[in-house]
Amino acid sequence: MTPTHASGPSAESIAAPRSIAGIASYHAHIYYDRQTTRSDAEILRRQIAERFAVRVGAWHDELVGPHRQSMYQIAFGTAVFAQLVPWLMLNRRGLSILIHPNTDRPRDDHLVQSVWLGTPLAITGDVLDDVLKPDEAPENLPPNTTPDRTDI
């Protein structure tokens, strides 16, 4: 039975669910404090690159985009999600990690369709587009790592 409110069915109950086919890739934003946890972030970054075919992004000691703490990004394909995310759950070294899909809705990707490992941090959503421009596609970058470890 469809849940209803006093005024009728909710918009959420009427809207068709979004297809996961709209997820081009994922990002994991790994946050650190430059003074106290950067060494943990360095170890985690190396361990990820040794084990997973991902794109390891630049260090952002200074704030960038919607992120209000130092971080680096790990970009990865949908096929990597099922192994990388559980591995991060067990090996995040106490760091906060934002994991989000890359779809045609960047703001929702970061603020609504995301999951946090560790303590959630503030994100400045108003710097993100609601919807990608017609000539843009969700990000799907190739890996820049060559994993040589199988102990995940």
pLDDT in tens, 6-30: 555 666 667 889 999 999 999 999 9
More confident residue, 129 or 11: 129
Region of residue 116 (phi > 0: left; psi between -120 and 50: alpha; otherwise: beta): beta
| Angle, helices 38-51/81-91, rounded to nearest 10 degrees | 150
Structural domains in the chain? 27-127 (3.30.70.1240)
pLDDT in tens, 46-87: 999 999 999 999 999 998 989 999 999 999 999 999 999 999
Would you state the pLDDT for residue 142? 92
The band of 133, judged by pLDDT with boundaries at 50, 70 and 90, is confident
This prediction has a pTM of 0.87
pLDDT in tens, 78-120: 999 999 999 999 999 999 999 999 999 999 999 999 999 999 9
More confident residue, 2 or 98: 98
Number of Cβ within a 10 Å radius of residue 141: 15
